Amino acid sequence: MTESLFALGLGTGTRATRGGWLEVFYPAPLRGVAPAIAATLGTYCGYAGGNAVLEPPASALRALAGALNDAGAAAQAEIARALSANAADAVITVLATDAAPASVPEAYLKLHLLSHRLCRPHEQKLDGLFAVLPNVAWTSEGAIELAELPRRQLAARTAGRTLTVHGVDKFPRMSDYVVPSGVRIADGARVRLGAYLGEGTTVMHEGFVNFNAGTEGPGMVEGRISAGVFVGAGSDLGGGCSTMGTLSGGNKTVIAVGRECLIGANAGIGISLGDRCTIEAGLFITAGARVTVIDDTGATVRTVRARELSGGSDMLFRRNSLSGAIECLSNRAAIELNAALHAND
């Protein structure tokens, strides 16, 4: 094979009782795979091109480990050797192209690429992801098929232990699969696999980061980063604030937050912000909200819908305490994060 592959993941996962995959863990996925490695997969695992999910036997995995090591892929060689000890749960997912995921292993590889910072949000196709992913019980004993959960709970009780269900969802906690360098996550349940957290990001207990969303870093997250939203470096999302995503409510606009922005506590945005913008605490700016634009002299320039200001920089949004009108002024101050809080070594 002479062309590079889009991505490759060697991993291990959990199967449902009926044989399908519930989830897959890829310790060290690759993006942009050399043709030599693709050829190695063909020789030892029967890879014949295209996007494929391979389930090689232990003997093939052992042989593959040596070949990967010779090809300069030492980390993947070590994973192949480890997988050979329990090949029944081993899976190799090959993405020759960035196509929409067609299986659970393909979907999990794409989510891993995001959380390993190998792809930024919106850099790969995730169409149909929800239809591919099964709803799973995430428990103290791993992923369990929902139909199997009562039997497993009973088995645990009769063995003298309690099986704890952490959640029932299509997405697991990111920290059970990937912990990127230089981040703090106060509550693992608040960050889904597929989130992108840049170096220096701190997610406090009430912060939340969805999949295909995240932060450039450094940054403080005490509010909600909805699916599709990306937040620039040096920005601060105050406690309980919200960014409008694209998964529900009919919203089709992808929201972004620029650098050195502040979204105050319990505030929210339905428009994008450029750099150095501030939203007053408690103020939610929807795209259709009427905003009075005020110049440096305090004079009213015009009144517009907020969507017309989307993406602008150096804006301060506030609510006039007398009239109740939403006002937009020039923002003269940039937000400065506490450097000590975001040195997450």
Active site residues: 222
Cα distances (Å, whole numbers) of residue 92 to 20, 27, 149, 242, 313: 15, 12, 27, 38, 45
Question: What angle is formed at CA 289 by the lines to CA 287 and CA 294, rounded to 5 degrees?
Answer: 110
The vertex-138 CA angle with 88 and 13, nearest 5°, equals 20
Q: Cβ contacts of residue 123 below 8 Å, gap of 6+?
A: none
- Given a contact cutoff of 8 angstroms between Cβ atoms, the answer to whether 135 and 170 are in contact is yes
First to last CA, the chain: 41
Beta strands 184-185; 201-203: pairing state: parallel
Taking the C-alpha atoms of residue 85 and residue 289, their distance in angstroms, rounded to an integer, is: 60
Cis? peptide before 56, omega within 30° of 0: no
d(CA 268, CA 256): 12
- Give the largest Cα separation in the chain, rounded: 77
Given a contact cutoff of 8 angstroms between Cβ atoms, the answer to whether 297 and 279 are in contact is no
